[in-house]
Chain A
Amino acid sequence: MKAYYTYFKLKFITGLQYRSAAWAGISTQFFFGFVYIMVYIAFYESGGKNIPMTLSETITYLWLNQALLALVNQFTRDEELFKMVREGTISYELARPKNLYFMWFFKVLGQKLAAVTLRFFPLIIVTSLLPEPYGLGLPVSFIGFIVFLLSLTIGSLLVTALTVLYPIVTLATMSEKGIVNLMITIADILSGIVVPIPFFPLFLQKISSVLPFQYISDLPFRIYVGNIQINSCILPIIIQFIWLILLIVIGNLLMKKNLKRVVVQGG
């Protein structure tokens, strides 16, 4: 277990070195946050019917999304893992007496947590100081906040399990361009980081409720804003947890299968 922790720690420490990337990320996230908010305000003011979330719920959701984007998105991939597969450095990883899946899992987790640590605080502090209705609101209740933290923790592990899958698939396809990039794009849309899930058309909501993606961040964010009541969030959290276990099992099996026929590139 200690080895996996060291992997995580090293990746976390190296991740903290990328400060200018973080500042660039922060400004992008402020920019996108404001653009989104303008669009939604226009949308609410045009007087649409049956809007599934209140304006302040939506805005808080959007800011949480921006503040935690580095953690909950799947498109910033761990370039190192893909490179390892492409260029064959994976030889070294395979020559280690450890489970490769979990080595990668903790690498990705470390990288994600480092990235979010650098970006999270400035966004949270500034946006919570913004005037109504532009700012980040408080959680619905104290219990709501605790449940949000629990759900976000499972969600972070869930997104890690998903992010690790892509380099594992690349073991078979040899390049992440093409099918893998397509998968990532679809997964990101269905996770609600572009448009919150309640704004999806009904059929798409139904589809996405049986997929793992909306349990990454959409569920915890809606718990935070109170769009999902505390007493009705037990089932989704159980589903979230089941998906986490399931994806770890799938990842392990797929890794085993792909390693059998892996072609180590180069040299």
Chain B
Amino acid sequence: MPPTVAGLVQVGLLIAALAVVHRPLGDYMARVYTSTTHLKVERAVYRTARVDPDSEQRWGTYALGVLGFSFVGVAFLYLLQRLQPLLPFDFGRGSVAPGMAFNTAVSFVTNTNWQSYVPETVLGHTVQMVGLTVQNFVSAAVGMAVAVALVRGFVRHRTDRLGNFWVDLVRGVVRILLPLSFVFAIVLVALGVVMSLKSGVTVDGQEVAIAPAASQEAIKELGTNGGGIFNANSAHPFENPNAWSNLIEIFLLLVIPVSLTRTFGTLVGNRKQGYVLLGVMGLIWAAMLTVIWTAEEHGLRPLEGKELRFGVPASALFANSTTGTSTGAVNSMHDSFTGLGGGGAMLNMLFGEMTPGGVGTGLYSILVMAVIAMFLAGLMVGRTPEYLGKKLGRKEVTAAAVSILAMPTVLLVGTGIAAILPSTQGALNNPGSHGLSEILYAYASASNNNGSAFAGITVTNDWFQASLGVCMLLGRFIPIIAVLALAGSLAAQKKVPETAGTLPTTGPLFATLLAGSIVLVAALTFVPALALGPIAEALL
């Protein structure tokens, strides 16, 4: 099969699988978050943790739940890494240095999964399983919980209650992520992914690291996490052995963000509202895939940093999907991509991770952007904007603006400072504009909680460990607080009846407005920075 045809077949299979699965999965997730009954195991969790699952929270308490849970998550994961020598399966890899332990703890709690460490030599199996795998589940479930809380803000009227964070969190883990991960972990083992408690195997006289990869691989993709149990991530044959495992991993990282648009449509009582969001996400995803694929086909060294079993098309497909979903897993090294191809991967993150975005985060990010789009439309016609039967007044638009502006602010400030620090020069792996791209990519990845990298950059000095950690925290939690505040003020409103003057939000006009807002906000914010990095490199 010629490579282009093979690539198109894989894209076709992927889209077909998503088309089949998103309906039942989306509807199932809608039931999960609206069900009034608790499973036995969930009751046991609530009883053990002494929380009341039947009380509902105001937006402030819901937000404090997210913050408190994430805070103890960082502390617990930090301690686990520092105390690694006391844990089993540590293989003498020692206590993780403070800066690296902080960065890694923040990275996994914020669903970023940026890796400043080389797993094979730094982390043992206990930290991987008891620390990182746990955060892979719960950080994903937190994102979904916040998205559901925002949807409740649109659906509910004249209430100050948004639901119960602990219930949304536990249900996301127990009813959605855990069963799917278990099934796909076994599928991945059947396809060749390793699941071993040993530290290495000898291959033709040389020692190659091995690990309990399959259990982590499944949730790594499904929860749009992206932290590999090996340094080469999903490029490592033990994590991603062949074309089929590769296609399944791409499917897994897209399936929940895609299906959540169905969940959204179901919950607001009009499935078209969800499909219009999915249409915009899919359109930008497809456009960016075309850019990255074409650019990589025509590179000077198309196979550098790519695995032969995937080739250029399946590498481009993975790269586009992992950067469009805030996953950050990689099956090829983005640092070796062309100016245009690597710039495309970067732009996917700079859109704010909503094409289709991470689990939950993608949905709430695009809903915030929809609020901005309707506000802009309202300005054009001189009318108070509405969306899904709720007025978008000063409070709502302010919250949306804060949510949108947090990421570019921390990203550009971080990049700017890093670029002028003398120590940065020695940290780069490539000269010229590509070196700047390495810095820009790092802060784009951290601030958008993606986690992929132009991995040639060495980020182990204190500045990078601390500043990237702070970018991950602010890029995650400022939008979350703003989104929950938005949800709170929406829920308090009464429903505005639809009139002849209401702009319909299920048609192509709204889709164009929304897509235009996504592209315009990113373009206005980032063109100057991109011009010095990937654009300069592409035009050289």
A and B co-occur in one complex: no
Chain B residues with CB under 8 Å of chain A are none
